[in-house]
Amino acid sequence: MSKVFKGRVIVGGDVTGEAMVTHQGFNILATYFRGISTGSPLCWDQNNPDLYEKVIADKILCLPKAIGSTTGGMFLECAKNTGIGPKAMLYSQTVDSISVAGILMSDIWNDDKIVTVDQLGPDFLAAVKDGDPIVIHADGTVEVG
């Protein structure tokens, strides 16, 4: 039986994919800096034990929020543009400005959406596990499982 959550749409779309989950702030720069130069689909943030050295390319990233440098948005856009970025991003908290910059640049500059929904709540991160199938609807409804 799937669990259903409703959040706020940042970039809408209908997407299905596999969850990758972190319960701490997602450092975009640390995650993608090495991967962009090498084409690696792995998370390279050694301070994120939930995702470190796991394949995150084309997955649905489930996270509380992003953290780190203001260059993170540029790295998120570059990761998506080079084929190692996420298919979608689901935030339990309110999306941060670092993420929004990259999400919007990818959509506007490259016509390559990172479907994004925020404000899904703490119960969302408690319910979703790595590998869970996720269905995202354009209205911000998220089905897990």
CA separation for the pair 17, 115 (Å, rounded): 11
pLDDT of residue 18: 98
Q: Is the pLDDT of residue 4 over 90?
A: yes
> Over the stretch 74-98, which tens digit does the pLDDT of each residue have?
999 999 999 999 999 999 999 999 9
Place 141 in a pLDDT band, splitting at 50, 70 and 90: very high
pLDDT of residue 57: 97
Find how far residue 76's CA is from the centre of its chain.
Answer: 9
pLDDT of residue 70: 87
Cα–Cα distance list, 70 to 24, 32, 36, 40 (Å): 18, 14, 17, 22
Of the candidates 71, 53, 73, 51, the residue with the CA atom closest to the CA atom of residue 63: 51
User: Which domains does the chain show, CATH number per domain?
Assistant: 3-144 (3.50.30.10)
Pairing of strands 15-21, 60-63: parallel
